[in-house]
Amino acid sequence: MKAFETTATINESGQLTLDQPLGVTKPQHVRVIVLMTEDEEEEPDPDETPTEVVIQGIRQGLYEALAGQTIPLSEIWAGIDAE
């Protein structure tokens, strides 16, 4: 069994629409688990970075590291105390 995590929207009719395609092209029956905040829970913080953006940043960083596009730690900290 393969698992996907994504976001979706539930419309007024209660139908679920994925925000992005899963990349699966073979028609098949699937199981769906829906996790949602309860009415009494707070809405997500609008200032919080969306998960998709965080994942893309991690992928980009890994790509750069594997490609040797790194900066020595000593250079990163150089001038950190400068005002």
Identify the helix (H) or strand (E) that includes residue 8. strand 8-10
pLDDT tens for the chain, 83 residues long, are 788 888 899 999 999 999 998 888 889 999 998 888 776 556 667 778 888 899 999 999 999 999 998 888 888 887 777 66
Residue 82 lies in a domain: no
Residue 47 lies in a domain: yes
Residue 83 lies in a domain: no
Are the beta carbons of 6 and 18 closer than 8 angstroms?
A: yes
Residue 39 lies in a domain: yes
DSSP, collapsed to helix, strand or coil, labels residue 17 as: strand
What does the alpha-carbon distance between residue 64 and residue 5 come to, in Å, rounded to a whole number?
25
Residue 12 lies in a domain: yes
Identify the helix (H) or strand (E) that includes residue 16. strand 16-18
Please tell me the total count of domains within the chain: 1
What is the domain range of residue 34? 8-77
Residue 45 lies in a domain: yes
DSSP, collapsed to helix, strand or coil, labels residue 54 as: helix
